[in-house]
Amino acid sequence: MRWSRLQLRMQKWIQSYATHDCISCAEVISRRQQRFARIAHARVMAEVFCELDTRRPRTPVTIGFAFEEAMGKNADVVDVLSYHDYRATREGIRSNIVAALVFAAKVKKPVINTEIGCTGRANPCDVVIEEYANAHLGFYIWELMITAH
């Protein structure tokens, strides 16, 4: 029963949004949701999405992992590697960038950072944007980390 509801939700999403030109990738589950679901659940969601999206080419799938290490362990079920980076120092940020790029080259998949920029906590926006731009690694700033939830 649980998976049939998941399949229905994903099928509805695919029918509603996947054909839009502005959708370049579907993040089926993110770090925030992983608090409530195990990685195994994220893997199943990615597999179900790929199975249901029968268009060719289908929408690429990613999972927004909290850490580069988790991204690496689950590369087999995604089309685009994705991780989040809230390191506080340039050295830490660069270390994550290098690890992500090395792994992406190894598995021959594109990589993007889908969460950076946490003001008032760890990840100064100006520093992290500069480091990711210099590394030519795609990223986007997760707005909820900048303003109130």
Give domain limits for the chain.
Answer: 2-145
Which DSSP category does 53 fall into? -
pLDDT in tens, 97-126: 999 999 999 999 999 988 887 766 667 888
**Superfamily (CATH H level) for 2-145:** Glycosidases (3.20.20.80)
Check: CB of residue 142 under 8 Å from CB of residue 114: yes
- What span, in angstroms and rounded, lies between the C-alpha atoms of 7 and 12? 8
Amino acid 149: pLDDT: 47
pLDDT in tens, 37-56: 567 777 777 777 777 777 76
